[in-house]
Amino acid sequence: MIDEMVLCLSIVLLAYLLGSIPFGCLAGRVAGKDVRQHGSRNIGATNVWRVLGKPWGLAVFSADALKGFFAVRAAIWLAGNAGVGEHAESYAILAAAACVVGHSFPVWLRFKGGKGVATSAGALLGVIPIATITILLVWLGMFLTTRYVSLASIVAALALPIVVAVLVRLDRAGSVLLYFSLAMTALVVWRHRSNISRLRSGTEQRFSRE
């Protein structure tokens, strides 16, 4: 059995590096356009969709979500192979947090990354799938009603800890998951602070149906 501190540090580092892969920026390079110089200047899937088109946006969303999912599943696998499988969920949550932080603050882009919505969804899918499905339905309902991606993301983030509290047993592992959901809510809302200002002033851009 390896030292648990070494395991924790290894999982955090690997998850952060995985999360910091800037798929939106890479997509822009392949397409011949730097998404950081267009639209909202964000490397997330929404801006990629607006700048490069629907196929690129969907591809980046999928890639960003898979980062979170694979980070979580890798942490569970590593915990099992290290002989601490009974704490696998705690390591998975640690990996999820590190991966979302990596996406939002990638070292390769001077810590200027995306807003963490897709990566959070992917990570949550790896830990508690039913909560992810519920949150995606919340997001979809708000988006179809308002056509604001940012508002749908904020509302879904605010709903996350409520959904987790309803669905999980608040034992040790459940409490850690609830704290993680609260931290992810705070990060996503904070990363959307400029969108909140535009929503309040009525200048936020609605997502086109085209």
Look at residue 209 and tell me if it is in a domain: no
Considering the domain boundaries, does residue 210 fall inside one? no
- From CA 3, how far away is CA 176, in angstroms rounded? 21
Query: What is the spatial distance between Cα 39 and Cα 42, in angstroms, rounded to a whole number?
Result: 8
Number of domains making up the chain: 1
pTM of the entire predicted model: 0.85
- Asked if residue 208 belongs to a domain, the reply is no
Give me the tens of pLDDT residue by residue for the chain, a chain 210 residues long. 567 888 999 999 999 999 999 999 999 999 999 999 998 888 999 899 989 999 999 999 999 999 999 999 999 999 888 888 787 888 999 999 999 999 999 999 989 898 888 999 999 899 888 888 999 999 999 999 999 999 999 999 999 999 988 887 665 567 788 888 898 899 899 989 999 999 999 998 887 654
Q: Is 94 a domain residue?
A: yes
Determine the structural domain holding residue 79 and report its residue range: 4-201
Helix/strand/coil for 160: helix
**DSSP assignment string, 98-145:** HHHHHHHS-GGGTT----SHHHHHHHHHHH-HHHHHHHHHHHHHHHHH
Question: pLDDT tens, 8-22?
Answer: 999 999 999 999 999
Does residue 43 lie within any of the structural domains? yes
DSSP type of residue 71: H
In-domain check, residue 22: yes
Q: How far apart are the first and last CA of the chain?
A: 54
User: Does any domain span residue 207?
Assistant: no
